[in-house]
A and B are shown apart, each in its own frame.
Chain A
Amino acid sequence: MKEFKREDGRKVDELRPVVIKVGVIEQADGSALVSMGKTTAIAAVYGPRSMHPKHKQVSDRAVLQTFYLMAPFSTNERVRPGPSRRSQEISKVTREALEPAVFLDEFPKTGIDVFIDIIQADAGTRTAGINAASVALADAGIPMRDLVAAVAAGRIEEHFVLDLGGKEEEVTKCDIPVAYMPRKKQITLLQMDGDLSPEETKEVIKTAIKGCEILYEKQKQALREKWVR
């Protein structure tokens, strides 16, 4: 049997080349750039700061707001600027992926804003965005239970493949993005496109979790590189 080769020559359980840079936006309280292959996300964190609009303020905890946006030039077809159905959904799942990690109750009546911009998109933008946001939150000095790492996995032919690229995403039977807190061993985001049997789904999730663990180490390394001289 001929050995299975992925579109870009990676092994089935290999991530795309990952680059994480911390502190790319001086103005922000914390920021990070994460690129996974051709997908590049920048996250900036502001806060905890006074919550505006005021009616969204909560008296016993901070409000985490996430804003996911794709740059108009991020894909080969222009993305209309401004919020869309898709970006609103991703903002919401990103927020829900990060909220379990952040100690929101330490900052009552404040807001923490996370801005995620995708400047280049080639599959896996929500996971790249979560990776960047989690590093940016840590860089902003916000208390957290753990860093959140995220990556997608899928199935091509009979193989479970990690971190799907743009072309792979088109041929895959299924695509499951997973966000994971490695220390707590908890999944904070789980979505699914396509269909798989329950057993196969478990295998794909396991593959993704392995990828998250590798990313987690890279996130820590990137933070260390900025802060330790």
Chain B
Amino acid sequence: MAEFIKKERDFVVPGDEIISSMDYLPGRNCLREGNSIYAKRLGIVNVDGRVISVIPLTGVYFPRVGDMVIGEVEDVQSNGWVVNINSAHSAYLPLSGVREFIDTSKTDLSRVYGVGEVIYANINSVVSGNSIHLSMQDPRCRKFRSGRIVKMNPSKIPRLIGRQGSMIMMIKDLTGCRINVGQNGIICIEGEKEDLVIKAIEIIEHESQSEGLTDKISLLLGGSNKPHAPETHKETQEEIQAEKEQEIFDEQEAESEGDFDRKSND
């Protein structure tokens, strides 16, 4: 087996050689040239079996099917809505993506979602990167009638959610706010302690790489020093290992937010 030039969890910049071996495959944000695998983006090395990928630490949002996003309605068209989802291209929410039946001859579409209104939607399909279709079929999808909108670097959203949603769950419990997180870096907060939540989000964004973040946020929000994740205090070897695996900005983590959110809504 070849030696890793950059090990798992190591920081890489574009052009860094990760490994010189044909035993591994280049995954996301990596490329193979000759025998070697190189990083394409600034980020952290992730090794999953034989696939090497780079988890980006920065960058604008690019939509992926299945992502929950928060967007602002930009335009109402004859059979759908154009929604700004904080990405390079606007998304389109067709009539067929809406849960209820709407008779276009009787209803004015702007009364369903008007220009400037903010919705929580699911990305249904992405064709060649620029035709993005949304759907409101998911039970979590809705229109926001109150609350505050905060923006965050999209690549730091998994940190805000935490493993198995531990971080966001803790913030929700300690502040009593209703928080919806969009994978596109937009967060909607509804509740009395909005300011506290915004402060917590700012800390998470600026110190996303530091350790013991969960404890720090817990203290800020006035929780006990022993928050939700009891595993952070069980410093066994397995726990440390699990932490290493989980703490990387993993997409799986981000996806798990979906399950957890569904539970809380049901």
Contacts and interface: CB of A to CB of B under 8 A. Distances in A.
Q: Which of B14, B41, B56, B155 has the most CB of A within 10 A?
A: B14
B57 interface: yes
A159 interface: no
A175 interface: no
B139 interface: no
A141 B11 contact: no
A130 interface: no
A224 B11 contact: yes
Given A47-B88, A141-B155, A108 B59 contact: no
Which size class do B's interface residues fall under?
20 to 34
A183 B11 contact: no
B81 interface: no
A37 to B, nearest CB: 24
A154 to B, nearest CB: 28
B38 interface: yes
B42 A138 contact: yes
Contacts of B88: 47-50, 107, 109-110
Interface in B13-55: 13-17, 29, 31, 38, 40-43
B63 to A, nearest CB: 12
A55 interface: no
A224 B31 CA distance: 21
B130 interface: yes
B40 A139 contact: no
B18 to A, nearest CB: 12
A202 interface: no
Contacts of A139: 42, 58
B236 interface: no
Contacts of B58: 29-30, 139-141, 227
B205 to A, nearest CB: 11
Contacts of B42: 138-139, 141, 223, 227
Interface stretch (A8-16, A142-150, A164-172): A142-150
Given A29-B59, A224-B13, A228-B11, A145 B40 contact: yes
Contacts of B40: 103, 143-145
A229 interface: yes
A34 B186 CA distance: 32
A139 to B, nearest CB: 6
A181 B56 CA distance: 22
Nearest to B88: A110
B56 A141 contact: yes
A145 B57 CA distance: 17
A182 B16 CA distance: 11
A183 B5 CA distance: 15
B90 to A, nearest CB: 8
B31 to A, nearest CB: 8
Nearest to B131: A109
Given A50-B90, A143-B41, A144-B14, 11 more contacts: A47-B88, A48-B88, A49-B60, A108-B129, A109-B89, A110-B89, A138-B14, A141-B41, A141-B57, A145-B40, A183-B38
30 contacts: A47-B88, A48-B62, A48-B88, A50-B89, A50-B90, A101-B14, A103-B40, A109-B88, A110-B89, A110-B130, A140-B59, A140-B60, A141-B58, A141-B59, A141-B60, A143-B14, A143-B41, A145-B38, A146-B14, A181-B15, A182-B15, A220-B13, A223-B13, A223-B42, A224-B13, A227-B11, A227-B42, A227-B57, A227-B58, A229-B210
Interface of A: 29-30, 47-50, 101, 103, 107-110, 138-147, 181-184, 219-220, 223-224, 227-229
